[in-house]
Amino acid sequence: MIAKDHLIIFDTTLRDGEQSPGASMTRDEKVRIAKALERMRVDVIEAGFPIASPGDFEAVKAVAEAIRDSRVCGLARALDPDIDRAGEALAGAAAGRIHTFIATSPIHMQKKLRMSPDEVLAQAVRAVQRARRYTDDVEFSPEDAGRSEIDFLCRVLEAVIDAGARTVNIPDTVGYNIPDQFGSLIQTLRERIPNADQAIFSVHCHNDLGLAVANSLAAVRNGARQVECTINGLGERAGNAALEEIVMTVRTRQDLFDCETRLDTTQIMNCSRLVSGITGFAVQPNKAVVGANAFAHESGIHQDGVLKNRETYEIMRAEDVGWNANRMVLGKHSGRNAFRTRLQELGIVMASEEDLNAAFSRFKDLADKKHEIFDEDLQALVTDTTLDAANERVKLISLRVCSETGETPCAELVLAFDGEERGGSARGGGPVDATFKAIESIVTSGTELKLYSVNAITSGTDAQGEVTVRLERGGRIVNGQGADTDIVIASAKAYLNACNKILQPVERAHPQQGHV
Ligand SMILES: CC(=O)SCCNC(=O)CCNC(=O)[C@H](O)C(C)(C)COP(=O)(O)OP(=O)(O)OC[C@H]1O[C@@H](n2cnc3c(N)ncnc32)[C@H](O)[C@@H]1OP(=O)(O)O
Ligand SMILES: CC(C)C(=O)C(=O)O
């Protein structure tokens, strides 16, 4: 049997994924996601853009120091200060990569960079050479390659490979290409660039026309050996290629690919839930691989077929991507050991024994209300426990809502604000509106509610509701999450979580959007 090539999985959830409006993450959240990615055996984790802000620098540094088994990468424009900052952030990495880029398409060069092609080429070479001062592992991207002229693209790529780039990444930055075209672009580049054999060809596709995964796979079939992708397809505008779809296609259609990944696919669901929990970007039920309906069969003919032979309607096994795997059901009779063990199996590491005890006590409270506690419940509960506990200035003590046909809903609550208990009440258009107004009567955050969404974490009427609230104040946007079997309480928790973030000094500022 001929050994297959290794297809490198480069995850950019923490960098390009974070560029989704509203998906900004704190340093600790990035470290948690990075650990889950490492556990899934992702080859390269792009942790951020260190020059972007002090918070992002700290986040890349923290990820670089926490991760041992994956490469950690930092993004840098083709500018000396960006590259130096990335080099500094990655100094503590077991294996660090600098990813530098500059646009090569006519429109980007003329209108955005206002540089001639020769200037762009010289700056690209200079950037790669400078990055090589910090690491042998340098990646170069000609931004908007999908709309660049082929002769110029070949010149730039040949020059950066000569300068020491070991990976050349071909981005379809605006998601403009279609699969045949993008596949043949990769083939042409590999054929025409004289030193192509000295670098790994990578692709980075955006999903503006819904083709990011198809374009990436067409590139792999034409010799690309690294794919840049994100969990749940998160990313700028319509997102990036979804990691889970790329990995499961290559695995399921082994007959079509002469390469394979080294991923532990059973960790996919963990990563998917973690990213959607932290960012508040819910996964649509019909999303491939990780959507709630991805392995559900409703119609009789399908159910009949699956009962007779699963493969009649299933091309993958749900357990291979982490669905239903290890469904040890925890309940109110479970002890600390089972709880701790299950968290470990889910890759959740509590910072201290105190955090574990706090999470365990919430688990017992939940188990009193809910018959079975599933992995999804645990993940929400732990997110709730670890949500900036140290920075929690305002906390829910009690809440009472009244909602009756023909009456205006009202809410009465008690909060602990900077250690002092304060009560407030309000009426509103609904119980959630009344609750938010009652909170505001105490906190006076001066924010505007930008998004409110509720998701059932598991099925059944006793399922926990997971609420995401997005607040904005003076251009700064924060997301808050909360989970509870009572969705009004979950809403209050989410609102307070967002308030706690907005009341903190800016730790992670997204310079253009002001997200934290
Ligand atoms: C396709 C991609 O996803 S690329 C990554 C996109 N991600 C982000 O932009 C998020 C992080 N960005 C940021 O925090 C900020 O934009 C910063 C810190 C990088 C720069 O901030 P500012 O200095 O205020 O510049 P601003 O964002 O207004 O403009 C970008 C500048 O970089 C230049 N530039 C853009 N790309 C590159 C590049 N690859 N190499 C060199 N210069 C570049 C632009 O031409 C512009 O220069 P100008 O100010 O001389 O006109
Ligand atoms: C930096 C590059 C790879 C990028 O994100 C893009 O072109 O979309």
ipTM of this complex prediction, to 2 decimal places:
0.98
Task: Tell me whether residue 172 is annotated as binding.
Answer: no
If you take atom 10 of ligand 1, which residue's CA is the nearest one? 52
Token duo for residue 506: 């800016």
The DSSP element (H or E) to which 75 belongs, if any, is strand 71-77
510 assigned binding-site residue:
no
The residues facing 476 across adjacent strands are 473
The whole-number average pLDDT for the span 166-190 is: 98
Contacts of 344 (CB under 8 A, 6+ apart): none
| Cα gap 478→469, rounded to integer Å | 8
With a pLDDT cut of 70, the percent of the chain lying above it is 93
Q: Which one of 15, 73, 101 would you pick to mutate in the ligand 2 pocket, going by the greatest count of ligand atoms within 8 A of its CB? A: 101
Q: Collapse the DSSP code of 124 into the 3-class scheme (helix H, G, I; strand E, B; otherwise coil) and give the result.
A: helix
Q: Cα(266)–Cα(227) distance, rounded to whole angstroms?
A: 19
Residue 515: band (very low, low, confident or very high) from pLDDT cuts 50, 70, 90: very low
pLDDT average, residue stretch 281-296: 89
Question: pLDDT value at position 193?
Answer: 98
Our CA angle for 262, 293, 244, nearest 5°, is 20
CB atoms within 10 A of CB 361: 11
Nearest-angstrom CA–CA distance, 278 and 275: 5
Kindly tell me if the per-residue pLDDT of 514 is higher than 60.
no
Q: Are 498 and 490 in contact (CB under 8 A)?
A: no
The number of the ligand nearest the C-alpha atom of 127 reads 1
Q: How far apart are CA 236 and CA 173, in angstroms?
A: 10
Residue located nearest, by CA, to atom 1 of ligand 1:
173
What is the signed CA dihedral for 514, 71, 61, 140, rounded to 10 degrees? Answer: -60
- Between 49-53, 295-299, 364-368, the lowest mean confidence (pLDDT) is in 295-299
> pLDDT tens digit string along 465-508?
888 888 888 877 777 888 888 999 999 999 998 899 888 765 44
Q: Tell me if 108 is assigned to a ligand binding site.
A: no
User: Which residues partner with 237 through β-bridges?
Assistant: none
Q: Which atom of ligand 2 is nearest to the CA of 236?
A: 8
The DSSP call for residue 411 is E
Within 8 A by CB and 6+ apart from 36, the residues are 267, 270, 271, 274, 347
Structure tokens at 44: 């390269």
User: Taking 90 as the threshold, does the pLDDT of residue 372 lie above it?
Assistant: no
Which fold is adopted by the domain 389-502? Double Stranded RNA Binding Domain (3.30.160)
| Three-state secondary structure call for residue 511 | coil
Q: Is the pLDDT reported for residue 366 higher than 90?
A: no
pTM summary value: 0.82
The amino acid occupying position 231 is: I
Residues with CB under 6 A from ligand 1: 16, 19, 49, 51-52, 77-79, 101-102, 112-113, 143, 173, 236, 511-512
Rg of the chain's alpha carbons, rounded to an integer?
24
**How many Å apart are CA 225 and CA 191, to the nearest integer?**
15
Query: Residues with Cβ within 6 A of ligand 2?
Result: 16, 101, 141, 143, 169, 171, 173, 204, 206
Is there a binding annotation on residue 206?
Answer: yes
Which CATH superfamily, name and number, covers 5-279? Answer: Aldolase class I (3.20.20.70)
Q: What token pair was written down for 119? A: 């200037």
Q: Which of 187-196, 261-270, 344-353 has the lowest mean pLDDT?
A: 344-353
What pLDDT is attached to residue 192? 98
> What pLDDT is recorded for position 390?
61
Q: Which residues pair with 486 in a beta bridge?
A: none
To test the pocket of ligand 2, the residue of 141, 167, 207 to mutate (highest count of ligand atoms within 8 Å of its CB) is 141
